[in-house]
Chains A and B, each alone.
Chain A
Amino acid sequence: MTDWLPPEALVALALSLRVSLWATVLSLPFGVAVAWLLARRRFPGHGVLNGLVHLPLILPPVVTGYLLLIAFGRRGVIGQWLHEVLGLTLAFRWTGAVLAAAVMAFPLLVRAIRLSFEAVDPKLEEAAATLGASRLAVFATVTLPLILPGVLAGAVLAFAKAMGEFGATITFVANIPGETQTLPTAIYTFLQVPGGDATALRLVLLSVLVAMAALGLSEWLARRVARRVRGL
């Protein structure tokens, strides 16, 4: 493998996997909560929240990255507080890459989970309540088991998106080998240096494979939701 890929490329691949995993795991609870709010609740600000969640999908990634830098940079409103109170620095660190990837993947995550929430008939939840289940128990014993494949599908999709995130990451945390250089930013670097084309191409191939595998898995899981809610 080391002959096929130079060490810097392997480091970038490992970092990408780590960043994407953390981004997926950390955003999952928020994704479920926001998807539930959007699918099952009507409240003032519903449209605003929906727009906000989808914003990273539409904004140029460089804008999202810059906004993250303003908010979470060392002098940013939130970044300064995080640094002083929790000792957590995000800008130009791999933790920042996690945040950038999570924000960029969030719309895909929420979309997939929201669709599975909408596939669950609220009448089933009503029936569970008459059988003695509290709201929390209804969610844990009826809603969640029914949407679980959809949650996983969303997570897989978010993971793939995180693996491919470039614009927001490079703007917010730059492209520091070993710290913030992920697969896409590594490809970009190899393309800039003479003789790096072959390595770049190999990394491109890896990216395509990861993306295809994730899409396939996500589709399969989404179909499982559809079968599950019909009792098959």
Chain B
Amino acid sequence: MLRVSLRHRAPDLEVDFQAPGGITALFGPSGAGKTSVLRAVAGLLTPEQGRIEAGDLLFDHSARVNLPPSRRRIGYVFQEPRLFPHLSVAQNLRYGSRFAAPGTVPDAARLIELLGLGPLLARGIAGLSGGEAQRVAIGRAILSGARLLALDEPMAALDAPRRAEIMTYLEALRDETGLPMLLVSHALEEVIRLASTLVLMEGGRVRRAGPLADLLADPALVPAFGVREAGALLHVVVTGADPDGLTRVQAKAGPLFLPHPAAMGAALRLRVRAADVTLAVTRPEGLSALNILPATVTRLLPDAEGPGGTVLLDCAGAALMARVTGRSVAALGLAPGRPVWAVIKALSVAA
């Protein structure tokens, strides 16, 4: 469990949150102070006040504890790989292990396999592609005996295919090593795919922190994620594959169809954007949309500005959100307790 509480003036920070394990994302616009928090955890920035705990006490201003970065065991992956140019890939990977306490460094062979680094070991670092270099940097950080991986927008400098590749590797690491990670990102797509806990930052403050699904489904946070991006996560299980390529999945509220294949029996998190949900008061017919679920309106939340608003729905226990205009709310007579049909225009797999 990582506990962070700190205050600083330049840059202006006043931050308090806990990261229970798994991947915790520090999410927010640029200039929100995400990287500064990460640097403070790693000891690269000394806050004026506060306390940072990650298993051991790393920093406590009032107790005058301030471990240097070299003794914090925070594996830091920077935006740029920062590999040592005078060392080979294998030497870069081994670099941190000589400083690590016995028993803290994980099995190198397994990690090299997991990150697909085998064919690169004998190479110098000059010829590596951006994605390869970043994978070496991730491996190097873990092999230093890190207790926590600090990822500072490690995919920001990569193109979309490389970004997807690194995300796949990070998922594998998350699921196989159980190493806690703190991920700084301003790409919601990365956060939704990787993180289980979200710390939403704005202007050097934590706006909200908690389980990712709760925050995504919170209508008050719609502006923070962007109107296009806000939405809910539905937990489903894959139940079958149809010959036309559609995959049948079962949500609590009913069956749904996914437009791409998935492994039988797999548990998936589906992302349902609020903007992709249409409401109807009677079960619609003659509609191209395949995914229609019964739901009940629980809250109406008009936007502070403009004609739009968010309708919060209960879908057999799962919270869904729909973006509608005030005019439609009036026309359909939407009010808390009203049963409706939620028409889902698009579904995507979050993880």
A124 with B100, Cβ < 8 A, contacts A130-B74, A130-B75, A231-B125 known: no
- Contact call A129/B85, Cβ cutoff below 8 A: no
Q: Contacts A133-B70, A134-B70 hold; do A128 and B95 have CB atoms under 8 A apart?
A: yes
Which range contains the number of B residues in contact with the other chain?
A: 20 to 34
- Would you call A124 and B82 a contact (CB within 8 A)? yes
**Which of B138-146, B156-164, B308-316, B325-333 binds A?**
B138-146
Known pairs A131-B70, A229-B85; list 20 more (Cβ under 8 Å): A123-B78, A123-B80, A123-B82, A127-B84, A128-B84, A129-B44, A129-B69, A130-B69, A130-B72, A130-B75, A130-B141, A131-B140, A131-B144, A133-B96, A137-B99, A145-B86, A231-B83, A231-B86, A231-B126, A232-B85
Q: Which of A121, A123, A128, A130 contacts B42 (CB 8 A)?
A: A130
Interface size bucket, A side? 20 to 34
Q: How far is the CA of A202 from the CA of B155 in the complex (A)?
A: 65
Chain A residues whose C-beta falls within 8 Å of the C-beta of B72 in the assembled complex: 130
In the assembly, what is the distance between CA of A54 and CA of B182, in Å? 48
Does A44 make an interface contact (CB < 8 A)?
Answer: no
Report whether B70 and A230 are in contact in the complex, using a CB–CB cutoff of 8 Å. no
Q: Which residues from chain A sit less than 8 Å from chain B, CB to CB?
A: 121, 123-124, 126-135, 137, 141-142, 145-146, 228-232
B73 proximal to A (CB < 8 A): yes
B126 and A132 contacting across the interface, CB-CB below 8 Å: no
Nearest-neighbor residue (CB-CB) of A141 within chain B: B95
Interface CB pairs A-B, < 8 A, 12: A123-B78, A123-B82, A128-B84, A129-B70, A130-B44, A130-B69, A131-B140, A131-B141, A132-B99, A132-B100, A135-B70, A145-B86
**Chain A residue contacts of B74, Cβ below 8 A:** 130
* B86, B124, B145: the one within 8 Å of A132 (CB): B145
The reply to whether A146 and B86 form a contact with Cβ atoms under 8 Å apart is yes
- Is B76's beta carbon under 8 Å from chain A? yes
